[in-house]
Structure 1
Amino acid sequence: MSYTHTITVPLAWDEALQQTKDALAEQGFGILSEINVRATFEAKLGPEAAASLGDYIILGACNPNLASRALAAEPDMGALLPCNVVVRRSTDASETTIQAIDPQTMVQLSDNPAVKDVADDAATRLRAALARLDGSVSPGGSAGPGS
């Protein structure tokens, strides 16, 4: 099982980042954190490390209703929240990659049926957000290549 849903889009970095945030918001996700990995690498490891990574942001996305349901079912699930969504682009790339954690990963760690229901709902919403960016969803519900 892959632990991410991944798409690659022909969007400029800034546009891909903003459209990702917008698509997540449409699915009820707010952004609780935004980690600029490139800036961290530059500050801690130097400009060469940052340049070799390229643009790389980790968004901590949270749908409060889903989080509430997950935590009510199993409080330990908080260790897996929020849902990470990565927007990344190599220095010389012409496309931007967007990856979202597959919430089914939570199901692998819990045998609680309520957690499975939340993970199913979260996965549907995250795939819909990626599909909005990608413009396609396969009949099985996976967004883009590498899902």
Structure 2
Amino acid sequence: MDYTMQVSLTGEFDDVVDATIAALEDEGFGVLCDIDIQATLEEKLGEEFRQYRILGACNPPLAHEGLTEEIELGALLPCNIIVYETDDGDIVVSAVDPQQLVGIADNDALDSIATEVTERFERVLAAVTDERASGSGA
């Protein structure tokens, strides 16, 4: 089962992270948390790991609308977007598929919200791809 939407890019890891955060902000999302998995695994376990960040993104109006319809939806928020380096050196930006995520709740009132978030995430992924293709921020 596919549960993410993703693009694979070339470029500098930190530049892709910055471009992803900017694209999220352009779509009305704030990044509530930014977890550096590589640093965490090194600090907590002494283990080396690839560059890997988890961005917890939230669009307050859409979150409010969703929580109004389904109070337990908070267990699925914020929506996560991950940015990681592949073994080949490419950078993947992957967002949770809101349709799959909201499907867990089995509440038809959330369908339009999931569609809206999906469309916004698609634009985020397109914007990151376009920025990398144009060479901006590289």
Provide the secondary structure at the position in 1 that maps to 2:11.
coil
Q: Any gaps of 5 or more consecutive residues in structure 2?
A: 131-138
Equivalenced residue count is 130
CA distance in 2, matches of 1:100, 1:42: 24
Q: Which runs of 4+ in 1 moved over 6 A?
A: none
Q: TM-score, normalised by structure 2?
A: 0.89
CA distance in 1, matches of 2:29, 2:63: 10
Q: TM-score, normalised by structure 1?
A: 0.83
Q: Any gaps of 5 or more consecutive residues in structure 1?
A: 136-147
2:29 partner letter: F
2:52 partner letter: Y
Q: Which residue, 113, 117, 123 being the options, matches 2:118?
A: 123
CA distance in 2, matches of 1:57, 1:107: 23
Aligned 8 A contact 1:23 1:129 in 2: yes
Q: Which residue, 101, 106, 111 being the options, matches 1:111?
A: 106
CA distance in 2, matches of 1:109, 1:54: 30
2:65 partner letter: R
1:54 partner letter: R
2:26 partner letter: E
Which residue number in structure 2 is paired with residue 17 of structure 1? 17
Q: Does 1:56 align with 2:57?
A: no
Provide the secondary structure at the position in 1 that maps to 2:28.
coil
Which residue number in structure 2 is paired with residue 83 of structure 1? 79
Q: Percent identity?
A: 39
CA distance in 2, matches of 1:19, 1:116: 28
CA distance in 2, matches of 1:88, 1:97: 5
RMSD: 1.3
CA distance in 1, matches of 2:15, 2:62: 27
1:94-105 → structure 2 map (5 Å cutoff): 94-105=89-100
